[in-house]
Structures are given as structure tokens and as C-alpha cells.
Structure 1
Amino acid sequence: MTAPHLAIAGMPAEFVEMRGGSVYWVVAAGSAPADLLGASALIGAGDLDDVVLATLGRGVEPMLSLLTPEQGPARVHMFQCSHQGMQLALRGLAEDLPRASGATTRMCIVQFPVAALDGWDDARLSRWCQRLQQWAQNAAQVLLLLCHGEVATLAPRLLPLNRSCAGVAQLHPHRGALQLLLHYWTNSHGVVAQRAFTVEQVEQRLQRLVDPEVEAPSVAGEGGSDRDLFLAQADVLEGAPPLSSAWRLYEGWAGLMPAALQAREATVVVAISENAQVDALARLLHRLRRERGDAVKLVVRELQPCLRYADERLLLQCGGSLVVPAHTPLPRLLTLLDTVQRQRWQGQLADDPEPLIRAHRPPSISGQVSASRFRQIASERIDQDGSAVESAVLALQPVAGLRAEQTLQQLRIRRQGDLACVYRGQVRLFLFGCRRDAIEQALGNLFRLPWRELFDGYQRLAEYDIAAMNASGSDPETELLPQPAEPAPVAVATVVAVPFATPTPLRLGDDA
């Protein structure tokens, strides 16, 4: 039995096939293209016994009129809803679809306008998709959502939903025809992403047209350019198979390096999951950049939050083209990879990465120290860092009635290399790798109480301010203070979620 698919003539199966237990979104710029897609999906479900078709805000006739009597599944259960009730019907879709489908139903198609989602924020849209995906998975059904209207606003909102949607595509006008843009599409053949195809209507069917400018080959022939090739660690794609024939996946850095050392203009994507790997990765990037030149794209994907600002700077100065933060959705990663294509690395590569690595390492000590020790370390790091790492040295004046020693009882230093001391009634802080625009956020993380309630403000100190701490020995210096105990936990109230009332089910049309 052929798997359900969008019956677009000339399209390979990996770009149109849909797998059971999954939700697919296709956003069309108008109801007429949506009808064409719906008809093609019904034709592609010709081997199925039962299909549910629901249309919100309009009737089913425009879509069904595109089919001949012999096309489509054996039986179609049809439901439709008026424009006034479509928002309630959409809210209750996860409850209505189990009632509308039978034991032999393997596919449901729901067509609705973008306007039915008015007032839905991203969180609500995500929860709704998760509920639909859970039902589709439990029922082993394909759920195809055909949305028509303003594709430019809806399609970007769907990209982060890749965990609950197996595919997101859009159909919009392009050079007198239509363009089918697959943001990503998952099925039994694997995963494809960022592929565009020109299609047109031929005798009430969609057919692919070959457009060399839109569908340029993704991999060069033997001896040609490799600029469209992606060489990546398997972990980068979160367990997904290669996204297309242009992707080559390898296990770990060791598996990736032999291929990367042959690259000329390819995109090399490496993964990092812990901070202890930073120095080794910096050396690896430096070698690749030195040996393979400025045309190769070197991208680092953070699998777990482990990189500080200074670490990112180090990787970029050692030849990296881009650092992708942790928790970046896969579709967003692909978009970011597009931004570095056809670009050359513009940095100046150091002859030896070791001085850079040493400059980006935080001091080996952290916490509360004496003023003399603070002065020594801060002076060394400020002189050493130069433009390599932007660190902050601050003087904070306690509010009237508080002594500096009392404010330090609210201080909690967690990061390696951050220091504090008391000097002349002030609290002085050294924050390693802290940018100017991140100082207030860092202060908010360092103190248990709001820092503005403890201090009148802060002053950013320059090198000569730190050197001035070398004044006469009569200046008081507070030695290492005991770390204050964590405050006792505060009881919090229990929040009980009250479910919304179930919306009116969609039962405005009879099946046929």
C-alpha cells in the first residue's frame, strides 16, 4: 500500500510522502491553492479506505470538484463549519477528530483560514499542536493541516514547532506560477529542509516545473566546488538522518576531521556539550582555518548550555564562522547556516592559538578574597586581556546604614574567575568575561536581594583605578570572609490549574 502523499506530478517521494502518527502543516497564499493541495492529498490517499475531510469557514465543494469520480480514497467523511463557528471548532479539534474518525481511518485533512488563529500567541499555538500530535501518534493517523491566507506571518511561527510537527511547507505565487517551499519535511525517507520547487496547475492537478535558478544542484560533481556541502557531526541534527544528499554525517570530532581537512568551501558543523572541551575545540578550529583557508565555513553548535561570552570569543578568534546557542530549534539552525553561505572568514588568524587560549581562561580562583589579592589578579587580567576578553571591574557603594561586609552576606559567586573584596568601605567586584551591556544582569544574578536595594549604584573602574589600590598600607583590607549560609527555603503556594470548558464540537455537516 502506498503511503499518503501530496500527489504532485514529478516530485520525488521524499518531498511529498507523509508518515502515520504525524502532523503536517501546509500554508497556502489563498483558498484556491489550498484546494489544489487538498485535492492532491486526497488523490495521494487513493489506497486508503477512509479519510476525514473538514473545512472551516467554507464548504468542501471547491476542493472535491477538482477530483474525478475514480480519484481519492474509498470513503470520505466530510464535515464543514460556518465562518462564525470556526474558531470554536479549531479549539476543539483535538476532541472532535477522534469522534469523526473511525477504526479504519488513517488520514484527516483540515482546511481553515489563517484568520481562525487570530488572538493565538505562540505558546497557545504550540500547546494546540502538541495535543494534535499526541492524538495523531496514538491513533497512527496522518493529520494534514491546510491553512490559507497570509503565509508570511504564519510560516515563521511554525518553524519552532518541529517537535510536534513532522513537516512545514508553504505554497505561494512565484514568477507567474507557484513555489512550494519545504521548510522541513520528515517521512520514512528521512528529513529534507529548505528546498523550493516551482509548481503549476495542469488540468486541475499540481505539477512540478524544473526551475534551474530555484532548484540548483546541492552537491557539485567530482572535482568541482563543494560550497553547498555540509559536513557535520551526527549529534548536530539531534538524531535525525541526513537532511538531503548534500549532508554528510560523522561520529565525533575524530570522525569528522579527515573529511573537514579536505574541504575547500564546504560548511563544517561541529558540536560542543561541555565547557571542558573549549580549549581543544579552539585548537581544532585553528588548525582547520589555517590549513583550509578563509572560504570554508566553520560552525559550532552548542548542544548543552556550556559557553560563556569569553568562550564564544575564543572560538570565533580561532577561526569559527558562527556559534549557534544551545536550545536553538533545528529549523532555526538551518536558517542560521544559510547566513554564512557564500561568505569568507574576515578575521585575522593568530600564528599560535595557545596565547589566545590562555587569555580567555578565567583566573583559577573565585569568590571573596583580600584586597591585595584582588588588586593583583584584576591588574594582571586587565593588562593581559586587552581586546581578547572584555571583563568588568566595579566599585559598589553600600546604601546608608549598611556596611560593605553586610552586603557581602547576600553575595553568591558561582562562576569561575569572579572575585569580590572590601576596600575603603566599598564592595569591589571583578567579573571575568562580562560585557559592558551585561553588567546589571550579572549583578542581579550575584546578589540574593535586588542589588539596587543594597547599593547606591556602581562605578566601572579603569586600570589606573585598580593601580591606585596600591596606596599606603593604612588603607583597610578585609581578608577572606566566610561564605554565608544559604537562606532557608521559603514555602510557596500550590497552584491548581483549572481546565477550560470543552468548546462546542464541530458537527455542522453530515458525512457522505
Structure 2
Amino acid sequence: MEEGKQPAPQRDDAHRPHGAGGIAADAPAGRGLGVLLRDAVSATVPAGSRLAIEALPDEVALLAPGHFYAIYAKPRTTACDALIWGTAKAARTRYVTLVLARTRERAAARMRELGFGASGAARGWPRNLNVLAMPEGATDGEDAGAVPAGAPPPGTRVAFARLFGGLRALKRFGFRQSALYLVEGAERWLTWGDPDALAREANLLANWCAARRIALVLLLDPTKIDDGKPRDSNADGFMSQELTQQPGYLELHGACGGVARMGRTHGELLWHVEFWRAGRALATGETRALRFTEDGRLSVAPEVADSNAQAALRLARDESRVVVTRAVVANESWVPPEWELVDDQQAAVAACVGAQAATVLLDFRDRSTLEPLCAAVHALRRECGRALKIVVVERREALRHQYELLLLSLGANLIVGRELPFSRVQSLLRSLQGQLDTRPIAHDYRAALAAALTDEVRGYLPVAAFCERIEAVLARGAVLDLPHVLAKVTLLPDIAHAQALKHCAPRRAGDVATADAAHLYVFLFACRLPDADVALAHIFTVPVEHLSDRVVYLAEASIEREIEALAEANRRAPIADYSDLFSEAAPSREPRRAAAIGEPGDTPPDAATPGDAASQLMAVESMLEKINREGSPARRANGAPDEASAAGTRPAQRAVRAATVARRAAQPWPMPLRGEESPK
């Protein structure tokens, strides 16, 4: 532990400098009679200090002299700093000592932020304030003093060794009655691997505080407690209840005057009291939500809705911060000056490192930006917690329904439409303040993205392929809970299946259809049940009423049951396959169109084979040569132009075009020439 080099007597009331690692908060030189009388009265009847959490009842906040308290909290966080410095500033005693688990430079920088300077302490702070630095990298010998010969090797914890070393360092600044000590990172002073040693150390601390009438607050980092179990040092969650039930913890807590936990759960800062003694009163099992005031102090969140109180309290210090990509506000003439503009999603993620409750606006422009947007949203939610507000704004294209569900499952709070005015966007951002995201977050954004995307398959499928396709889509979409609709269309008696399928032309990828003996089944991918009527009307080229008088829409578990029944019926008696009349759902129509407008030598996928095209062309050429050579005798006698030649040319041109375009398997191939009419 780093401390001042000037020794100080233990019980000397004369004025002396106090410091931590060379940082001093000196008392004024002159002391009047009123000050001496007040000190004498306070020494006779000490008033206990309290934790610096506004609106927290005294029965769970009082720090009585003669007791020590254990608070489990993650050190070097905004909440922990607010608790330490706020409690020290509001202490009802002149003698306050802080032990910070950080380097001397960081402790000095924090004191300068609070208004301390080389001339002395800032106004409003205790008269005799000591700030000590206990860096993380300090060795056991530096923390606990000299190690005797024959001691265990470094890294082995010896009962009382570190505790004695810490108390010896505090002794250099003197122990006074009614003094307050707050030790950050105090888990390094205790022997957690040995329950018996931990219980003896707790009893020693209790007797030591009672004998000197000192209030001691130990701030323990649950992620650094060495009880033999691996822990995530980056976890920002509430300490597990199971940890306090380990051997030795009950004895430690029994010697304390109070035990509490402070941590975040779902992004919200909570204060949980295991138990707290205040005189003869005992409070147990209280949990309260905490907020930050505008000046950075901790306060209990009001239980009754109060607009003024809620406006002044924040989930975290950075809740008023807004980070926005340039594409979101590119077309706006005015942007709030306090907003932080970044170039893209990756820059937004980098700017939000360490953020807790800020607001982030990300843009969606087109399908090409979907994957980086998903990666950014998922990274922000996983790294910054539940209090962060993530808003996705449409700017060039509108998000499809499955993509909205995808972004919400990855951690987005809100999706803003592209037509929404900027003033309405600001109002929506204000409505998000104070809210927490409680939806479950997907572990892997790539798996969630694969569930939202569908193969470029549409159109008719045989019954077996249709059932397999729907089962695969339902299993893959369960990650996002995508809504699908299966329309069961009962055909009219005078409507043939081929006629109904001819009018069924799905345009969206993932929409497929099939038919059984009496019904037409149309699967609408990522379609909500209220939108099924409109979606089905877009699929059919004629009104649905012309084909059916009864349409049943199935959703969720009903789809699975219907598909199982259809597959079972197909296994018992194979249902008619209309693939020869209607091509099966192709993987994609875009490659087909690309081939149609590609290079002259490219052959479309559905075109005739090279042998068929060559034979057709040879037949056309031979017929043309015959007509040109012989001609029509009747027409030559009348002197009329050779209409047969012209008539033969038109079918020949149609045959040449037909040889280079796609055709259905069930459509007849046009004949190369018509037969000549016999002369009358």
C-alpha cells in the first residue's frame, strides 16, 4: 500500500498533514473556541455516518462506530466511486480515510476532478481526509509489510498476514474514535480459501472496530474473491446468492454490522440488503433500484410516479449522451449540437466502449448493410448492457418484417420508419429514457441472421417437397419466433387444380404452394396473420373468390399439425404431381433474367438443348430452300407475290425465337411450317 512518508503519532490531536501517496488534504491552521467545543461534544456523543444514497432509509444506511460493514460491489465503476466519495463527503466525522484500489496517479487525478489542489482540501469535505492508494499490482509483501523468514512461497495466502499488513498501514495515520474508513478492494485483505481463517479474521475485525469505536466499510469485488471457482472479471451482473452461502461466509457476515450488494441486473443498478443493523433494529432482504442525479450522486428510484423526480434521475451518468451515424441525419438541416456524429456502425461501436445508458442511432440503407448492422447491434447490447438504447432508422429502403424481428432479437430497442419526421424521432428518443431492454438476446447473430433469411425459392412444389420445405423453415425460424401463415384454399367444384395453380404466382422469396385432391396450400413466409388476406390477394392473378368460397388461415402450431397430416396423407396415397405443367420453385429468378440479357453465346437454363435447337434450325433452313427453289405454282400463275414464302418466313422466325427462350416442359413446341393449302 502506498502512503505518505511522514510518520504521524497515533493519538495526537495537534494539527498534522494527511495524505495518500503524497496527496494531502490539509486542515486550516487556525481553530477557534467554537470549533474546539464542537469537537469535544462530538467526541463525547458521536453521531454515526451514513451511506451516500439519497432517499435510502437510515435503518439500512447507518454506519455506526464500532462495527464493520461488507458491501459487494465492482470497484472502479461509476456507481462504486459515487458511493465512496459521496459517503466520505457526507461523513459526520472529521476523520475519514479512503483506501482506493488504484494507482497513485489515478487517485490523484480523481481528487483533482473533485476540486482538490496542492493548497488543501476542497470546500465541503471532512477536515482530516486521508486518501491512500492500494494498486492492483502490489505484491503481498508491499501490502502486508515485511515477510518473515521461512514464510510460504509467494501466492500462498497466510491467515491474518494481509489483514495485519493493511491495518499496519492505516496505523501510521492514527486511529481515532468515530473515524470512518472505506477500503476499496478489501477482498485482498482476507483469506477466502480457508473458511476457519476467514471466520477468525472476521472476529478480529469486529473486536478491533469495537475497541477503537471505528466504522469500517469493506468494499469487496465478487469477481476477485478466490474461492476456487473461476469467475468472469468482466461480468457486470448482480452477485449470485449462492456465493454468500459458501463455507466461511456466514461467519464473516455474522461478525458484520451489515451486508449489502450493489450491481447491475438487466442494465439497472440495484441495491440489495442482506441484513443491516441499526441500533436494536434489524432489516433484511430489501432491494431498491438506484439512479444517478444530475451531479452524479446516487439516489433511490421513486416508487411513486413523479415527473419532476424522474426527469432529474438517470439510470447512469451518460443517459443524456446520443451517438448517431451521419447517414441518419444526412438530410436534416439542424441537429442537436450535443449529439456525437460518427461515420458508420463500426465507428458507433468504438465510440460506445464503456457506455451504459447512452442512446445510439444506427442507419439501415439497403440489404447490403444488414449484416454489419446486425453485428453492430449485437455487439453494443452484449458489451454495454441492458440500459443502452439502440435505435435503427430506415433511410433508403424499408425493413421487411423478419428483419425487424431479427434486429429486435439482437438487442435493438426501436425501429424508426423512413417516412417519420425528425421531430417525431426526437420525441421517440425521449420516450426511451429510463427504460431497460428485457428481451432475450440471441447468442450468435449469424445464426439469427440465417433464420431471418430465406432461400430464393417460390412457386409450385410437389407435396413431399412442400412439406419438407415448410418443416425446415419452421425449425430454422424458431430462433426468431418468425410468424408464418399457411393458407388452405378449398377449390370450387368447377375449378380444376391446374387452373388454380395457373393463377397462383408467388412473387416473394419463400412463398410456395402445392395442391391435394380438394385444396390449394399457399405458405406465406414471415407473414403476420392480420396481413394474410392482403398477401394472398397479391399472389393470385384473379380474385380469390373466383377460385374458392372458403379460405382457412393457419399459424404457429396449427401449421405443424396441418403439414404432418398432409405428409401422412401423401405417404398413404401419393398425391398428384403437377411439376410437368408448372415448373417447380426455382432457387432464384434473378439468374434467369441475367442469362436472358447476358452475352449472345449464353444459353438460358430453361432453353432447349443444343441438339434440339440445331435440328429445328436445319428443318427450317431446308424448308426455306425448297420454297425459294420451287415456289407456289398457283401464285406464280396469277403473278401474285410469293405468299407461301412470306408465310413460311414468319413461322421460321417464331421457331428461331422459340429455340432461344425458356419454355415450360408441358407446353407443345410450335411447328416450323404450316402445310400449304391445296389450290382451288
- The alignment's TM-score, normalised by the length of structure 1, stands at 0.48
Q: Greater relative contact order: 1 or 2 (C-alpha under 8 angstroms, separation 6 or more)?
A: 1
- The alignment's TM-score, normalised by the length of structure 2, stands at 0.37
